[in-house]
């Protein structure tokens, strides 16, 4: 069994792929597009190091190992194909642009001390938000570990001791439909109250007590779920993130509850099932725009083999507090590869 | 309008003699600030808005609507009142947010019929503060109104439709043709009586050697006689030498002719000033906001009437430019250079002529090839430690003469002040202004965005202010690049004047705003760090393509809303303007590369920061207004006023906007403001005021 850690790097200057499309109010395009372009960039970076022979950063022993493994394809061949971009990059062996650290395979490899990591100024000057997405189909008992894992990656990449707000997104929750009253009512039977409370107590409150998350939040809680949740948890959420077609139409019961209980209702535009299994396979597979990391049984292309399951996703944002400038934003995703 | 120090103002011949000294001292003062403030770091994002009002006397039953000249009395009443806001408590915010704003501040303006109001202290970037802007603007209007007579109203039309028309248009009445302005249309008393203002007007006229010529093309309607000769021009005045101007061709056919600074500087605008975190970020903002100037000018168009006639332009900009144009015939290129130092292509009031950032993305091809600078001054600045690009900027501003000089200020150079520097700086009215910290270095480097026209309601004024604030955050977060050649910005500024330019014209705009695809592991700092990163420097530079490939023509709909939206909502282009729209069309209206649009960029930014539902809802209403103005789903104020005039029973389709029409237009504006002040929508006025729903929408 191999743990995969996918990352996007800092996507804030990542170009038009992160700009929302007209009419889209809930989407995971930002995650999938930025993963895709980050994979590609990592490969091109590798090709560049061959091209310019400057060998800094990621060009360590792996470079030679990779080319050796490629046998008949010496570096020159790769360089010649450089202009073809994605096609040639896809043929790169995984070891050229990914790396293993402890029990995890980093896709792509991360230079934790490189440009674009860490914050420009001291962490206290930032408002740092992390949002962890627990994905459907993953046993709830593993969530506490996933939360620790996710948050530690965020803190490491930003070089920060804590996040200011940690929002938790449980699978299966939403405000569906155009009628907000109806959406609020339907929300009450979504998800699993028992699992959510257990995750909160075992995983999330711990992070807060350990000083790693100053405030906590939930996402997509309707008035009924939120009221019940508040009665059962020790550390109350300070925030409830909601996604509504029109943010001017918050269901009145939710508005009232939030006001009475002093909970901030924040807007978000993420979809809850942010990284479905099929999407992950496409991202890492051999198809158009895929990273070519997985073995392809149809063509016999080599690569990682086994069943791949997304486990969690975490999104993080660092905003300079008194300037409203977003300095760093990105995602990590954790996945498990079950050996065949 | 800068510091209103009292003193003995020099007449032009004397002022001219001191111009060199003032410039020299101004540069010394600038270097003093530069050396004190160049290393300032980490200033917070603060910003302020300025709203300007016309004060009119209006009553429903009196057919006369007049400009009130009681500015001094009103300001006095405001200054005397210790409990300014007592009768103006705006409805508490739904979220229970309590404002920490001190009372607003009121300022005099050039026109004696004008007022300016600013918030009591600058705004921060907290989203809840952004929501306070609108209620604060309403509060300002309410306070102003409460210190006026019952029949006086502060209104936010850019210009008074009948200023300078024959007959009575001010209260009290004064005869025209005074010694300072020598205007045949407006009295000297139209200007603020503080010595600075009449001196400014008189010395501009005197330096220029004749009166200013503010000629606006008249709108040709069905019954407009053609060629059209401005019927209000008097060719038989012989009181001042300048009365010859009209006999020497100052008033050409088919133009509304105006002859005084008041016609320009009497216009109201909406200006926003931002504090940057440091010098580098300030220079970046100055450059990046500059190409947005013409776009926001066209989008806020609100000035279709001058001196009682419909104009064929929609905005105030060029009229102000001409109203303060102090260039001599030699500087204008009408005569060979003998006494003057150089030809100067633009008025002191004009679109930007410089980019000032040391940004690597700034290509030399973007700079103005015709830029005039004073090489001596540039050298002094370089010697004083300023870098080439900023030295060039100030050496350009300092080609002008100081217009108003007080004898008392020439006794000795005071380096703890900035008065001489400000003398030149504040009479260079470009569409952006780069502001160094004050002499005591107590605030940061600032950038002023100046092109927007004032809007009739505070809802609209707040919407445009907040939009610009968000745009600056988007630029800095995403490190956007709006650079196009300055000459193209100039061209856009002209284009923005066309009637309904917002819908019918296309503007040069940069195709790709994003940084070229850089490698993630080597990405530099996105927040405008003052120290360049070594990785960025060591990387071989991306080869540039031709500059002409970097931009293309776009509609404002496309620029604001993005290509996809513009394609789906081609807008409500008035039939009469459709022909004009064709003049610069390629065969394909939308090029193949999609432009993301400024509003989708703002929305993506908002998606990435923590915003509460109430705030987002309010911001959505602001963005919705701007989206629809850009697409034509809603009308600009200019188009609404044109429609109002055209549908008025007294309008004879001859381009003339008579007293009754003006009375009813001002009445409508007053009513809209009263409804807004009461916190009511405009629904009740929809049947009563023509075109209201197309102007302000249904949302309110």
On the question of pLDDT at B697 being above 80, the answer is yes
**What is the predicted pLDDT for the residue at A1?**
84
Cα(B298)–Cα(A268) distance, integer angstroms? 33
Number of Cβ within 10 Å of residue A47's Cβ equals 20
The candidate with the shortest Cα–Cα distance to A160, out of A129, A134, A133, is: A129
A19, closest residue in chain B (CA to CA)? B604
Grade residue B517 by pLDDT with cuts at 50, 70 and 90: low
Interchain CB contact of A49 with B (< 8 Å): no
> Which chain B residues touch A324 with a CB distance below 8 Å?
45, 125, 473, 609
Chain B nearest C-alpha distance from A339 (Å): 31
B2: left (phi over 0), alpha (psi -120 to 50) or beta: left
The candidate with the shortest Cα–Cα distance to A37, out of A82, A89, A80, A81, is: A89
Number of Cβ within 10 Å of residue B646's Cβ equals 14
Inter-chain residue contact B517 with A41, CB threshold 8 Å: yes
B518, closest residue in chain A (CA to CA)? A41
> Which chain A residues touch B617 with a CB distance below 8 Å?
246-248
Q: Give the distance between the most distant pair of CA atoms in chain B.
A: 76
Grade residue A112 by pLDDT with cuts at 50, 70 and 90: confident
- CB under 8 A, 24+ apart: contacts of B229-234: B229/B253, B230/B255, B230/B256, B230/B257, B230/B309, B232/B164, B232/B165, B232/B166, B232/B185, B232/B257, B232/B307, B232/B308, B233/B184, B233/B257, B234/B184
CA torsion through residues B147, B118, B619, B132, sign: negative
Interchain CB contact of A186 with B (< 8 Å): no
Q: Percent of chain B, pLDDT > 70?
A: 90
Crossing angle (nearest 10°) for helices B127-146 and B659-677: 130
Inter-chain residue contact A247 with B606, CB threshold 8 Å: no
> Which chain A residues touch B558 with a CB distance below 8 Å?
none
Q: Which of residues 66-105 of A touch B (CB under 8 A)?
A: none
Interchain CB contact of A267 with B (< 8 Å): yes
Element holding B49 (H helix, E strand): strand B47-59
Interval A310-329: pLDDT, tens = 999 999 999 999 999 999 99
3-class DSSP assignment, residue B528: coil
Q: Which of residues 233-252 of A touch B (CB under 8 A)?
A: 239, 242, 244, 246-248, 250
Query: Is-contact B449 B51, C-beta < 8 A?
Result: no
Interchain CB contact of A17 with B (< 8 Å): no
pLDDT (mean) for B441-466:
97
**What is the predicted pLDDT for the residue at A73?**
33
Grade residue B90 by pLDDT with cuts at 50, 70 and 90: low
Query: Is-contact A293 A284, C-beta < 8 A?
Result: yes
pLDDT (mean) for B19-39:
97
On the question of pLDDT at B579 being above 50, the answer is no
B274 has which bridge partners? B47, B447
Inter-chain residue contact A13 with B616, CB threshold 8 Å: no
Query: Is-contact B26 B421, C-beta < 8 A?
Result: yes
Query: Which of A9, A13, A43, A107 is the best substitution to test chain B (most B C-beta atoms within 10 A)?
Result: A13
pLDDT (mean) for B578-591:
46
Q: Which residue has the higher pLDDT, B369 or B523?
A: B369
> Which chain A residues touch B527 with a CB distance below 8 Å?
120, 320, 323, 325, 327
Chain A nearest C-alpha distance from B537 (Å): 12
Inter-chain residue contact A114 with B522, CB threshold 8 Å: yes
On the question of pLDDT at A80 being above 50, the answer is no
> Which chain B residues touch A322 with a CB distance below 8 Å?
44-45, 124-125
> Which chain B residues touch A16 with a CB distance below 8 Å?
514, 594, 596
Interval B383-438: pLDDT, tens = 999 999 999 999 999 999 999 999 999 999 999 999 999 999 999 999 999 999 99
Interval B198-230: pLDDT, tens = 999 999 999 999 999 999 999 999 999 999 999
Number of Cβ within 10 Å of residue B230's Cβ equals 20
Interchain CB contact of A13 with B (< 8 Å): yes
Tokens 């004064």 locate to B174
Chain A nearest C-alpha distance from B595 (Å): 9
B538, closest residue in chain A (CA to CA)? A54
Tokens 């530079």 locate to B541
Q: Which residue has the higher pLDDT, A167 or A245?
A: A167
On the question of pLDDT at A2 being above 60, the answer is yes
Interval A220-267: pLDDT, tens = 999 999 999 999 999 999 999 998 777 778 899 999 999 999 999 999
Interchain CB contact of B93 with A (< 8 Å): no
Interchain CB contact of B360 with A (< 8 Å): no
Partner residue opposite A247 with nearest CB, options B527, B564, B613: B613
| Summary mean pLDDT of chain B | 91
> Which chain B residues touch A8 with a CB distance below 8 Å?
520
Grade residue B32 by pLDDT with cuts at 50, 70 and 90: very high
Interchain CB contact of A122 with B (< 8 Å): no
Backbone phi, then psi, for B431, in 5-degree steps? -75, -10
Cα(A175)–Cα(A190) distance, integer angstroms? 10
Q: Which of residues 612-631 of B touch A (CB under 8 A)?
A: 612-613, 616-617, 620-621
Interchain CB contact of A317 with B (< 8 Å): yes
Size of the A and B interface in Cβ pairs below 8 Å: 149
On the question of pLDDT at A74 being above 70, the answer is no
Residue B406 DSSP symbol: B
**What is the predicted pLDDT for the residue at A116?**
67
> Which chain A residues touch B44 with a CB distance below 8 Å?
322-323
Q: Which of residues 178-237 of B touch A (CB under 8 A)?
A: none
Interchain CB contact of B565 with A (< 8 Å): yes
Partner residue opposite A247 with nearest CB, options B277, B561, B617: B617
A326 has which bridge partners? A319
**What is the predicted pLDDT for the residue at A297?**
80
Cα(B380)–Cα(B401) distance, integer angstroms? 18
Interchain CB contact of A323 with B (< 8 Å): yes
B520, closest residue in chain A (CA to CA)? A9
Contacts of B647 (CB under 8 A, 6+ apart): B690, B691
B275 has which bridge partners? B446
**What is the predicted pLDDT for the residue at B588?**
46
Q: Which of residues 23-42 of B touch A (CB under 8 A)?
A: 42
Cα(B570)–Cα(B589) distance, integer angstroms? 10
Query: Which of A26, A115, A120, A260 is the best substitution to test chain B (most B C-beta atoms within 10 A)?
Result: A115
**What is the predicted pLDDT for the residue at B240?**
96
Grade residue A79 by pLDDT with cuts at 50, 70 and 90: very low
pLDDT (mean) for B551-580:
80
3-class DSSP assignment, residue A171: coil
Grade residue B536 by pLDDT with cuts at 50, 70 and 90: very low
Q: Which residue has the higher pLDDT, A338 or B296?
A: B296
Grade residue A272 by pLDDT with cuts at 50, 70 and 90: confident
**What is the predicted pLDDT for the residue at A84?**
41
B569, closest residue in chain A (CA to CA)? A22
Interchain CB contact of A280 with B (< 8 Å): no
Burial string for B562-589 (b: 16+ CB within 10 Å, else e) reads bbbbbeebebebbeebeebbeeeeeeee
């Amino acid at each position: 069994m191999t743990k995969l850690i996918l990352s996007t790097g800092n996507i804030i200057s990542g170009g038009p792929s992160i700009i929302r499309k007209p009419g889209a109010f809930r989407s995971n395009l930002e995650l999938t597009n930025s993963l895709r372009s980050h994979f590609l960039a990592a490969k091109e970076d590798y090709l560049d190091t061959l091209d310019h022979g400057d060998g800094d950063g990621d060009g360590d022993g792996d470079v030679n190992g990779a080319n050796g493994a490629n046998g008949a394809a010496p570096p020159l061949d790769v360089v010649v194909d450089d202009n073809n971009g994605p096609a040639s990059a896809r043929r790169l062996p995984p070891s050229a642009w990914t790396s293993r650290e402890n029990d995890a395979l980093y896709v792509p490899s991360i230079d934790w001390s490189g440009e674009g990591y860490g914050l420009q100024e001291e962490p206290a000057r930032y408002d740092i938000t992390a949002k962890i997405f627990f994905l459907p189909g993953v046993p709830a008992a593993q969530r506490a570990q996933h939360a620790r894992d996710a948050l530690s990656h965020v803190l490491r990449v930003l070089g920060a001791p804590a996040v200011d707000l940690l929002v938790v997104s449980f699978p299966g929750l939403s405000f569906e439909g155009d009628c907000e009253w109806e959406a609020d009512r339907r929300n009450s039977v979504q998800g699993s109250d028992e699992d959510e409370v257990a995750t909160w107590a075992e995983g999330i409150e711990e992070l807060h007590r350990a000083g790693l998350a100053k405030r906590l939040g939930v996402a997509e809680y309707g008035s009924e779920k939120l009221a019940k949740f508040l009665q059962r948890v020790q550390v109350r959420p300070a925030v409830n993130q909601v996604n509504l077609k029109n943010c001017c139409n918050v269901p009145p019961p939710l508005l009232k509850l939030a006001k009475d209980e002093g909970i901030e209702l924040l807007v978000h535009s993420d979809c809850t099932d942010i990284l479905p299994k099929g999407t992950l396979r496409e991202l890492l597979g051999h198809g158009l725009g895929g990273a070519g990391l997985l073995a392809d049984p149809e063509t016999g292309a080599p690569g990682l083999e086994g069943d791949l399951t997304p486990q969690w996703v975490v999104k993080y944002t660092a905003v300079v507090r008194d300037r409203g400038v977003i300095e760093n934003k990105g995602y990590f995703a954790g996945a498990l590869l079950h050996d065949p | 309008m800068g510091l209103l120090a009292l003193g003995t103002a020099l007449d032009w011949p004397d002022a001219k003699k001191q111009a060199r000294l003032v410039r020299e001292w101004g540069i010394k003062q600038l270097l003093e600030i530069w050396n004190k403030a160049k290393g300032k770091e980490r200033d917070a994002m603060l910003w302020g808005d300025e709203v300007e009002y016309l004060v009119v006397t209006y009553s429903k039953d009196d057919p006369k609507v007049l400009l009130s000249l009681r500015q001094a009395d009103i300001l006095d009443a405001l200054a005397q009142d210790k409990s300014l806001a007592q009768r103006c408590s705006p409805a508490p915010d739904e979220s229970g947010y309590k404002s920490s704003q001190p009372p607003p501040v009121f300022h005099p303006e050039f026109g004696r019929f004008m007022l300016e109001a600013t918030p009591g202290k600058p705004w921060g970037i907290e989203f809840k503060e952004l929501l306070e802007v609108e209620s604060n603007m309403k509060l300002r209007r309410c306070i102003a109104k409460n210190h006026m007579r019952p029949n006086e109203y502060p209104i936010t039309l850019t210009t008074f439709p009948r200023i300078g028309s024959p007959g009575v248009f001010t209260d009290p009445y004064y005869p025209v043709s005074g010694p300072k302005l020598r205007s045949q249309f407006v009295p000297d008393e139209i200007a603020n009586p503080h010595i600075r203002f009449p001196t400014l007007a008189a010395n501009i006229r005197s330096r220029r050697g004749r009166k200013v010529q503010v000629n606006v093309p008249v709108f040709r309607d069905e019954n407009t006689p053609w060629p059209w000769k401005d019927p209000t021009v008097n060719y038989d005045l012989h009181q001042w030498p300048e009365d010859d101007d009209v006999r020497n061709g100052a008033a050409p056919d088919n133009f509304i002719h105006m002859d005084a600074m008041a016609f320009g500087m009497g216009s109201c605008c909406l200006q926003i000033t931002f504090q940057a975190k440091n010098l580098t970020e300030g220079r970046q903002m100055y450059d990046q906001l500059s190409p947005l100037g013409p776009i926001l000018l066209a989008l806020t168009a609100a000035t279709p009437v001058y001196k009682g006639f419909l104009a064929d332009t929609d905005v105030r900009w060029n009229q102000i430019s001409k109203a303060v144009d102090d260039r001599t015939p030699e500087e204008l290129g009408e005569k060979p250079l003998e006494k003057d130092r150089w030809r100067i292509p633009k008025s002191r009031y004009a679109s930007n002529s410089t980019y000032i950032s040391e940004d690597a993305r700034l290509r030399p091809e973007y700079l103005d090839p015709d830029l005039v600078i004073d090489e001596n001054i540039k050298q002094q600045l370089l010697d004083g430690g300023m870098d080439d690009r900023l030295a060039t900027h100030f050496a350009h501003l300092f080609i002008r003469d100081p217009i108003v000089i007080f004898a008392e200020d020439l006794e000795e150079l005071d380096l703890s002040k900035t008065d001489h520097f400000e003398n030149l700086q504040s009479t260079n009215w470009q569409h952006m202004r780069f502001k160094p910290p004050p002499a005591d270095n107590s605030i940061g480097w600032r950038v002023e965005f100046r092109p927007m026209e004032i809007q009739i309601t505070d809802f609209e004024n707040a919407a445009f202010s907040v939009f610009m604030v968000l745009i600056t955050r988007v630029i800095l977060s995403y490190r956007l690049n709006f650079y196009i050649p300055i000459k193209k910005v100039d061209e856009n500024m002209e284009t923005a004047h066309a009637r309904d330019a917002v819908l019918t014209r296309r503007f040069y705009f940069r195709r790709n705003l994003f940084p070229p695809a850089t490698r993630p592991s080597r990405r530099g700092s996105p927040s405008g760090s003052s120290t360049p990163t070594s990785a960025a420097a060591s990387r071989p530079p991306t080869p540039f393509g031709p500059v002409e490939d970097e931009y293309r023509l776009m509609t404002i709909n496309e620029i604001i809303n993005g290509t996809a939206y513009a394609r789906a909502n081609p807008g409500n282009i008035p039939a009469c303007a459709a022909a004009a729209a064709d003049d610069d069309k390629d065969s394909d209206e939308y090029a193949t590369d999609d432009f993301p649009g400024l509003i989708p960029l703002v929305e993506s930014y908002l998606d990435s920061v923590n915003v509460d539902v109430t705030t987002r809802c309010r911001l959505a209403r602001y963005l919705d207004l701007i989206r629809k103005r850009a697409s034509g789903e809603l009308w600009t104020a200019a188009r609404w006023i044109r429609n109002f005039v055209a549908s008025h029973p007294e309008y004879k389709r001859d381009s003339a906007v008579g007293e009754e029409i003006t009375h009813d237009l001002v009445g409508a504006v007053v009513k809209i403001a009263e409804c807004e002040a009461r916190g009511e929508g405009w629904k009740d006025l929809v049947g009563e005021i023509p075109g209201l729903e197309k102007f302000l929408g249904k949302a309110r």
